[in-house]
Amino acid sequence: MPQSADPGEIERGALLLRAGRLVAFPTETVYGLGANALDAEAVGRIYAVKRRPGTSPIIVHVSSIEMARSLVASWPESAERLARRFWPGPLTLVLEKQAAIPAIVTASLSTVGLRMPAHPVAIALIQAAGVPVAAPSANRFTELSPTTAEHVRRSLGDEVDLILDGGPCEVGIESTVISLAEPRPTLLRPGGISRTELEDVIGPVGWAEEVQAGAHAAPGMHPRHYSPRTTLYLAVDGNVPDRGQGIYLRHEHAASRAGVLTEQMPRSASDYAAALYEVLHRADAGNYDWIAVDLPPSTPEWEAVRDRLKRAAAK
């Protein structure tokens, strides 16, 4: 279960956010690198620390539906239904923004992604700060997302003013992002809420096209993303590189390979997602020549995991 940060640390984090500083904090998905979403200069520090391009917008975290509604130009019925069903939780809603949201947060797009995280530390921090919190994952751009406070320390070191430790993240991969800015809802990034679950609430959901150039409609759409420093390969029919020393992350239907270090990944999609980044962080720290991973089935519950693995393996 998630741990609770000391109330004094949360108040310290809130003071830092209000002062324009950066605070890393836990959510149920991954750890976020937070700044006051209404302070353009503070958000600029996020981009600088992450080495993040200005074409990649940042999700804004809120502590209530009321806070979310105050940040958008309109709040359609579909947003209300999804928020009531899945918030707090791993779902980001993209809507037309209010002018109070600086352009740097949204890559100069007219829309903003909003999410209410399902973690007591995150909610307490936002409430104590009294401002919405812009927060991408707390790591260098395109690298592995952090699911523990130690991952944040190893990635960003002392470039963050405070790291709140809330224990390991339970969901383990980033939120689902759905755009409600157009008449037809569009899935921009698969995540902790499946497309099937969304459609059960609001009906058919379209798919976004891959980004070619310019500002991305949502974070996580860069072709190469979520990547360990060690070269990652997608194993086809259990075939792995025949050079150097590597580690093979097996799915349940794949056979062991003689002479190859293997690790069995969880069988269910949710357990696999929760373990994925932690396993990749450990493999990355092992100084292997390569990491090979079986691609799970192409069924709805595995869409988010497959998306992360394909982007992690992109060259």
Q: What residues form DSSP beta bridges with 60?
A: 114, 134
Residue 139 included in any domain: yes
Asked if residue 304 and residue 162 are part of one domain, the reply reads no
Cβ neighbours of residue 188 closer than 8 Å, sequence gap 6 or more: 94, 177, 178, 179, 208, 217, 218, 221
Query: pLDDT value at position 226?
Result: 81
Q: Do 51 and 143 fall within a single domain?
A: yes
Q: 287-305 pLDDT, tens per residue?
A: 899 999 999 999 999 999 9
Cα 66 to Cα 132: distance, rounded to the nearest angstrom: 11
112 and 192 housed in the same domain: yes
Token digits of residue 212: 């070619």
Domain end (from 207, 222, 241): 207
Residues 193-203, mean pLDDT to the nearest whole number: 95
In this structure, is residue 98 part of a structural domain? yes
Same domain, 201 and 77: yes
Closest CA to 159 of 53, 54, 57, 45: 45
12 with 55, same domain: the answer is yes
237 lies in the same domain as 195: no
* Domain end among 207, 241, 275: 207
**Whether 11 and 59 share a structural domain:** yes
Give the CATH number for residue 146: 3.90.870.10
Q: Is residue 180 part of a domain?
A: yes
Q: Which residues of 19-54 are buried (b: 16+ CB within 10 A; e: fewer)?
A: ebbbbbbbbbbbbbbbbbbbbbebbbbbbebbebee
Could you tell me the residue range of the domain that residue 194 belongs to? 7-207
**Does 275 lie in the same domain as 177?**
no
User: Is 225 within a domain?
Assistant: no
| pLDDT category of residue 3 using cuts at 50, 70 and 90 | low
User: Is the model's pLDDT at 225 over the cut of 90?
Assistant: no
Same domain, 15 and 158: yes
Which pTM does this prediction carry? Answer: 0.93
> 173 and 114 in one domain?
yes
109 plus 196 within the same structural domain:
yes
Note the pLDDT of residue 253. 59
Interval 33-60 mean pLDDT: 96
Structural domain contains residue 174:
yes
Q: What is the pLDDT of residues 19-44, one digit of tens each?
A: 999 999 999 999 999 999 999 999 99
User: Distance (Å, rounded) from C-alpha 221 to C-alpha 223?
Assistant: 6
- Residue 221's pLDDT is 67
> How far apart, in Å, are the Cα atoms of 262 and each of 178, 238, 244, 251, 270?
36, 11, 14, 10, 21
Using one digit for the tens of pLDDT, what is the confidence trace for 90-141? 999 999 999 999 999 999 999 999 999 999 999 999 999 999 999 999 999 9
Residues 20 and 85 in one domain: yes
Helical packing angle, 195-202 and 77-86, nearest 10°: 130
Q: 207, 223, 255 — which closes off a domain?
A: 207
Q: How many domains does the chain have?
A: 2
In-domain check, residue 93: yes
The three-point CA angle 257-259-260 to 5° equals 60
CB atoms within 10 A of CB 166: 23
